A and B are shown apart, each in its own frame.
Chain A
Amino acid sequence: ETGVTQSPTHLIKTRGQQVTLRCSSQSGHNTVSWYQQALGQGPQFIFQYYREEENGRGNFPPRFSGLQFPNYSSELNVNALELDDSALYLCASSPSAGDTDTQYFGPGTRLTVL
């Protein structure tokens, strides 16, 4: 059984650009959540996807958007990057939307916005 993987590991962008981060869920998981972890902070919930539909969203602007594909892999897209978007972005997959206790995290993508 493979774990949750994310790509790329690190990424450097400039302000105003767009970025796409990718997450491959653990086998058999149909739910993925994305979190933003700023330096020195705990993760903050961005949104969750369940069976390709958004299933809840945190306090993030619309320029943060996502997709979940039929194979349950997922993308996080951020448009019009701002300096404050610099953070570690974590995805977490779980077998179903209600399975909080079986949420598995990937290692994250470190995004730096210059």
Chain B
Amino acid sequence: AQSVTQPDIHITVSEGASLELRCNYSYGATPYLFWYVQSPGQGLQLLLKYFSGDTLVQGIKGFEAEFKRSQSSFNLRKPSVHWSDAAEYFCAVAAYPNNNDMRFGAGTRLTVKP
């Protein structure tokens, strides 16, 4: 079965600095990969997704992620972090095309320093 590892439990960056959140997946076939953000008291919001095509995908709020099959990674990046980006970020993998049993990582909590 598919699985996801997010190696960083908590990351602190200064406002305006660049950000990279790591995600490693395990899945035998072509993965369907996602990044979600969860703010306190909010549901998960989809930032971006990858299934095929260009390995660099653009998402909402200025985020992008790069799929690297050789490294089994799907890292999330943002060139300049805003204070409003402070939240919990989850990477997830699913078996296309069926969306049941989507597997999430444990999440990375992002703190943004003024």
Contacts and interface: CB of A to CB of B under 8 A. Distances in A.
Interface string A40-59: 11111101100000011010
B92 A42 contact: yes
Nearest to A103: B99
Output the residue of B51, B98, B105 with the most chain A CB within 10 A: B98
Contact of A98 (B6, B92, B97, B104): B97
Interface string B43-59: 11110010100000000
Interface string A66-104: 000000000000000000000000101010011111011
- Give the size category of B's interface with A: 20 to 34
Contacts of B94: 100
B25 interface: no
A107 B43 contact: yes
Interface of B: 4, 6, 32, 34, 36, 41-46, 49, 51, 90, 92, 94, 96-107
Question: Which residue among B44, B45, B90, B92 has the maximum number of chain A CB atoms within 10 Å of its CB?
Answer: B44
A94 B46 CA distance: 13
A42 B32 contact: no
B43 A105 contact: yes
A33 B43 CA distance: 13
B106 A42 contact: yes
A43 B104 contact: yes
B46 A98 contact: no
B67 to A, nearest CB: 15
Contact of B99 (A42, A94, A106): A94
Nearest to A43: B104
Interface string A5-19: 000000000000000
A4 interface: yes
Question: Which 5 pairs of residues, A with B, have the shortest CB-CB distance?
Answer: A56-B100, A42-B104, A100-B99, A105-B43, A48-B100
A41 B107 contact: yes
A29 B54 CA distance: 29
Nearest to B92: A42
